[in-house]
């Protein structure tokens, strides 16, 4: 029977299929389309309880949907999205809508929205976070763009999203490509948090000699306190998994080179364009890039050794490391949220950081107990210029910064690379410094390039004759 499905999904891989199953669980009539017969079969097998069916012919899929049609895409970002849209458009009617739920670059989303609007088709981009489990049982979703289109699927999205204190972890983000922009920054924060955790692991393992059982116990203990977060839980559980091939711990047979899909790099690039500092996120991106030079790293490790000093009083150092990790986590969020504030002004996204921190509290990869404090900070002051400016956050920083300094000093003395930790404390110190040395930078630029400078005692733009008799 035609015109019976409320929503159709294009792309029945892990994310698309699990999101459809989630929707079916909540009582929505949904279907899917995929060119791969194996994906269609998998949908039918997993969705047997709801009699879920998919389509192998795009035209049949389109004709099965209620009007106006609601079509969600969960396909790889880039040219594939454009190809799918190109196939779809001739089969659609004015008023139908397309929702791109992949990790598309926000500039692509802006372009697609403008092109489809000219043809009378609603379009919006929506970031989804939570991975396979989140899609199946409740993700965090960041829709932005065409609000008319969003409102038609709002009941579905709120029903399938994660919930925290009864609040759905989905909200209309803002106009334009704001949804995909916020998801991009979410991923940038994720990069930074993962790098911080990797450096923590490295210090525990190589600085203190912890084995995998001790690593598991330490991360488990920390996850029961203020550091509780999804990424810490993942990190904890990594250390108990054995390799089926060797019987050894799996973590010990994994190569120390990390790949990426681009969202971290995009976050760094946009921050550079907006001239806003996010050094810890940048260091996380750079660390993945540097990890690929394995052969060179091995050679330089032998050529440039650094004798490590023994870490005295390991229990004290472990406590300091917990505080340092907490400080760095605050800073990861602070940098990402500051970037969202700048982007909102530049791109007119009208972002509500209170709502964004609210929907990040559950379902997404960067969910953490700390986000409740961040949510409260933006509830108290929606126009907070920076997370560091909140009084309650300042109290937390004052408590943990001294230990952060001790950890970083000890790590540097021992020759351990901690780029994210080091960048976090330097970022903090730079922001709490009233008078920076950049007056010298202004002078240098004017000296060699006549780029002018500003004065502390007069308004206006000035240029000096640096080669005068004053020298």
* CATH, residue 151: 3.40.50.720
Q: Are residues 27 and 164 in the same domain?
A: yes
Q: Which pTM value belongs to this model?
A: 0.94
Could you tell me the CA-to-CA distances from 258 to 235, 263, 286, 293, 411 in Å, in that order? 15, 14, 11, 11, 22
Q: Are residues 142 and 205 in the same domain?
A: no
Q: Are residues 385 and 444 in the same domain?
A: no
Active-site choice (35, 66, 154, 183): 183
Residue 2 domain-assigned (yes or no): no
Q: Are residues 187 and 127 in the same domain?
A: no
Q: Are residues 253 and 310 in the same domain?
A: yes
CA distance linking residue 72 with residue 137, whole number of Å: 18
CA distance linking residue 433 with residue 150, whole number of Å: 44
Q: Are residues 167 and 187 in the same domain?
A: no
Q: Are residues 330 and 396 in the same domain?
A: yes
Asked if omega into 68 is within 30° of 0 (cis), the reply is yes
In the prediction, which pLDDT does 105 show? 93
Residue 190 among the catalytic residues: yes
Active-site choice (190, 199, 318, 341): 190
Contacting residues for 282 by C-beta, under 8 A, at least 6 apart: 268, 271, 423
| Bridge partners of residue 435, in order along the sequence | none
Q: Are residues 21 and 51 in the same domain?
A: yes
Q: 450's torsion region: left (phi>0), alpha (psi -120 to 50) or beta? A: left
Could you tell me the CA-to-CA distances from 127 to 76, 106, 179, 467 in Å, in that order? 13, 10, 6, 56
Q: Are residues 94 and 126 in the same domain?
A: yes
pLDDT in single tens digits along all 471 residues of the chain: 455 899 999 999 989 999 999 999 999 999 999 999 999 999 999 999 998 999 999 999 999 999 999 999 999 888 999 999 999 999 999 999 999 998 899 999 999 999 999 999 999 999 999 888 889 999 999 999 988 889 999 999 999 999 998 999 999 999 999 999 999 999 999 999 999 999 999 999 999 999 999 999 999 999 999 999 999 999 999 999 999 999 999 999 999 999 877 889 999 999 999 999 999 999 999 999 999 999 999 999 999 998 877 787 888 999 999 999 999 999 999 999 999 999 999 999 999 999 999 999 999 999 999 999 999 999 999 999 999 999 999 999 999 999 999 999 999 999 999 999 999 999 999 999 999 999 999 999 999 999 999 999 999 999 999 988 565
- Boundaries of domain holding 136: 7-175
Q: Are residues 58 and 83 in the same domain?
A: yes
Give the three-state DSSP class for 30: strand
Residue 201 domain-assigned (yes or no): yes
Residue 183 among the catalytic residues: yes
Q: Are 323 and 399 in contact (CB under 8 A)?
A: yes
- What's the structural domain count of the chain? 3
How far is C-alpha 323 from the chain's CA centre?
22
How many other C-beta atoms are found inside a 10 Å radius of the C-beta of residue 80?
14
Q: Are 138 and 166 in contact (CB under 8 A)?
A: no
């Amino acid at each position: 029977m035609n015109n019976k499905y409320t929503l159709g999904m294009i792309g029945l891989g892990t994310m698309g299929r699990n999101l459809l199953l989630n929707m079916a669980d909540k009582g929505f009539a949904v279907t899917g389309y995929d060119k791969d017969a194996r994906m269609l079969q998998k949908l039918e097998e997993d969705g047997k309880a709801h009699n879920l069916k998919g389509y192998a012919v795009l035209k049949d899929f389109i004709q099965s949907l209620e009007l106006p049609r609601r079509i969600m895409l969960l396909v790889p970002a880039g040219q594939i999205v454009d190809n799918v849209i190109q196939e779809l458009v001739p089969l659609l009617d004015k008023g139908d809508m397309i929702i791109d739920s992949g990790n598309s670059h926000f500039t692509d989303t802006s372009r697609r929205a403008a092109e489809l609007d000219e043809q009378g088709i609603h379009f919006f981009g929506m970031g989804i976070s939570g991975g396979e489990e989140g899609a199946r049982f409740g993700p965090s979703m960041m829709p932005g763009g065409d609000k008319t289109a969003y409102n038609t699927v709002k009941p579905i999205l709120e029903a399938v999203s994660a919930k925290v204190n009864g609040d759905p972890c989905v909200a209309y983000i803002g106009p334009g490509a704001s949804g995909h922009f916020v998801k991009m920054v979410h991923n940038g924060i994720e990069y930074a948090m993962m790098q911080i955790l990797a450096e923590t692991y490295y210090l525990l393992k190589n600085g203190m000699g912890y084995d995998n059982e001790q690593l598991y116990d330490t991360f488990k203990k920390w996850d029961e306190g203020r550091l509780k977060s999804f990424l810490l839980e993942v990190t904890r559980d990594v250390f108990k998994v054995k390799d089926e091939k060797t019987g050894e711990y799996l973590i010990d047979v994994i190569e120390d080179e990390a790949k990426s899909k681009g969202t971290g790099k995009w976050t760094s690039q946009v921050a550079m364009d907006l001239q806003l500092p996010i050094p810890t996120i940048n260091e996380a991106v750079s660390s993945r890039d540097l990890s690929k030079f394995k052969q060179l790293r091995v050679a330089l490790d032998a050529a440039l050794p650094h004798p490590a000093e023994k870490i005295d009083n390991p229990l004290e150092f472990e406590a300091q490391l917990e505080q340092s990790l907490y400080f760095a986590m605050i800073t990861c969020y602070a940098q990402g949220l500051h970037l969202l504030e700048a982007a909102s002004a530049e791109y007119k996204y009208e972002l509500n950081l209170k709502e964004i921190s609210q929907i990040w509290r559950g379902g997404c990869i960067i969910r953490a107990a700390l986000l409740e404090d961040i949510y409260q900070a933006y509830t108290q002051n929606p126009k907070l210029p920076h997370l560091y400016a909140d009084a309650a956050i300042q109290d937390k920083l004052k408590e943990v910064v001294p230990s952060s300094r001790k950890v970083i000093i000890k790590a540097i003395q021992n020759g351990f690379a901690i780029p994210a930790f080091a960048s976090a404390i330097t970022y903090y110190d730079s922001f709490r410094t009233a008078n920076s040395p950049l007056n010298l930078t202004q002078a240098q630029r004017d000296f060699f390039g006549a780029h002018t400078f500003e004065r502390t005692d007069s308004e206006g733009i000035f240029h000096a004759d640096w080669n005068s008799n004053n020298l």
